Structure 1
Amino acid sequence: MALNHMGVAAINLVAALLSIPVIAAGIWLSTQADNACVQILQWPVVALGVAVLAVGLAGFVGAFWRLPWLLLAYLVAMLALVLALAGLAVFVFAVTAGSSGRPVPGRAFLEYDLDDYSGWLRRRLDAPGRWDRIKACLAATPTCSDLNQTSSYDTPQGFFTAAWLSPLQSGCCKPPTRCGYTFVTPTYWISPISAAADPDCAAWSNEQAKFCYSCASCKAGLLQNLRREWRRADIILAVDAAALLAVYAMGCYAFRTAKTDELFRRYRQGYT
């Protein structure tokens, strides 16, 4: 019987340890410049991971000190958290379905269209006053200024063959290719006469605080950056949810076995 209770305690401790990848995924998202400016996913992920850690430790305590009421609370709470984690993984996968970028003639980098992304994500950016705060945050990051630190980007040919330009840099740090701007530096472009015909073309500014942060292409580039990072975090969430479900099933079986042994022991004591 003691071994059964120790087994339940060990399984619950494993469940608590499985919270670490979830918390780490949330912290990693918070360190990314775009996620730090948008602040949608990282803190719910961290909160969910902390909740799994707390419930797993509660289950360990309940099994180690043989507190049935705490173990029952653990079983109910952990099931709810596993379902929440799995639901979040499915939700993230669904809202990040969409474009991976569109090729542009004569350019190695891709450009992005806002209409290719989920309506839920677009609405998160277009909430009243939200984009003003996000673009001010993005302007304070070195995302665009870093382009001027790369010597291979000093010439038009070097910049146009920059396959490693991030979606955020492609959308926010330069005018869209269709606008016909003339390259001077990665963040300084000469406007064509017809630039005002397209809202994004008219929105471009050579000022560091403005660039193309008011462009739809910038929102699209931001969503593509988020999509790439959220998909990486989503792999961790999905794998962790599956592992937690397996551990939870093992915990239920071990708890049931321990309860059966306890009832059998009491029966034998009463019989003798």
Structure 2
Amino acid sequence: MALSNNVIGGINFIAMLLSIPIIGSGIWLSTEPDNSCVKILQWPVIILGILILVVALAGFVGGFWRVPWLLIFYLIAMLILIILLACLVVFIYMVTLRGSGHHVPSRNYLEYHLDDFSGWLRRRVQSPFKWDRIRNCLSSKTLCAELNQNYRMAQDFFNARISPLQSGCCKPPTECGYTFVNPTYWISPINTAADKDCLQWSNEQTQLCYSCNSCKAGLLANIKKEWIRADIILLVTLLALISVYLVGCCAFRNAKTEDLFTRYKHDNNYT
């Protein structure tokens, strides 16, 4: 029985360690400029990671100090958390399945259209109230100012691999036909009717294209890229947690079997 309990405690220590990449993924998302402005995924991930840590700690204590009710709590609670984590992994995959960049003539960077992304993601940015808050947050970042420091000549900028957020928010859409002065200053549009974003563009450095649909699309493209990376980490951690949980269930069952056998042997010796 003592050996089985030690095994259960050791398994739950591994489960505690597996909570670290989950919490770390949430913290990483919160440090990214786009996710820190939108604030959708990071807190659910962080909270789920903390709950897994707490439940694994309960199982660890229950295993080493032989507290049966803590082990039962661990088995039930961890199963629920594993199901929740699996649902989160599938959900992230589904909402990031759509949405990709489009090549434009004579440009190395991609441009993005809002309609390409999933309806759930679009609804996170289409509300004027939500977007006003997000836009104010984005405009306070240095994403666009960095372009002016890195690219002086038009051709250098056209050949650059800028981020989706910079492509959507820091410059006008290419089809508008604006003339390059610097990455965040453009003049003399040829076709302002090509896209309604053409009329939204402003050379005011606090405005730029932050009111454009292309900015919303670029934000979602950035979010998609980061969420996919986080989802891969969560998927690997989920598979490891399932393995640890199954081993823990087997160890718990063996411990109960040993306990019953010990009691049976003790009762026979007593009689």
Structure-1-length-normalised TM-score: 0.97
Alignment: residue pair count: 269
Structure 1 residue 198: Cα displacement: 3.0
Could you list the runs of 5+ residues in structure 1 that have no partner in the other structure?
Answer: none
- Distance in 1 of aligned mates of 2:54 and 2:238: 16
- Distance in 1 of aligned mates of 2:40 and 2:258: 47
Query: Mapping of 1:169-248 within 5 angstroms?
Result: 169-192=166-189, 194-195=191-192, 198-248=195-245
Match of 1:29 in 2: 29
1:156 alignment partner, one of 141, 154, 157: 154
Q: Find out whether 1:114 has 2:111 as its counterpart.
A: no
Match of 2:75 in 1: 75
Match of 1:62 in 2: 62
Query: Does 192-201 or 249-258 show the bigger shift?
Result: 192-201
SS at match of 2:52: helix
Match of 1:104 in 2: 104
Match of 2:53 in 1: 53
- Distance in 2 of aligned mates of 1:129 and 1:268: 71
8 Å CA contact retained: 2:96, 2:118: yes
Match of 1:142 in 2: 142
- Distance in 2 of aligned mates of 1:193 and 1:92: 40
Q: How has the CA–CA distance of structure 1 residues 16 and 112 changed in structure 2, closer, same or farther, with 3 Å as cutoff?
A: same
Query: Could you report, residue by residue, the CA deviation over 1:143-187 in whole angstroms, capped at 9, with x for unpaired residues?
Result: 10000111xx2111111111x210000000000000000000000
Letter of the aligned partner of 2:205 in structure 1?
A: Q
Query: Does 253-262 or 193-202 show the bigger shift?
Result: 193-202
Query: Could you report, residue by residue, the CA deviation over 1:212-235 in whole angstroms, capped at 9, with x for unpaired residues?
Result: 000000000000000000000000
Q: How has the CA–CA distance of structure 1 residues 207 and 226 changed in structure 2, closer, same or farther, with 3 Å as cutoff?
A: same
- Distance in 1 of aligned mates of 2:145 and 2:193: 25
- Distance in 2 of aligned mates of 1:60 and 1:191: 67
Query: Mapping of 1:261-272 within 5 angstroms?
Result: 261-272=258-269
Structure-2-length-normalised TM-score: 0.97
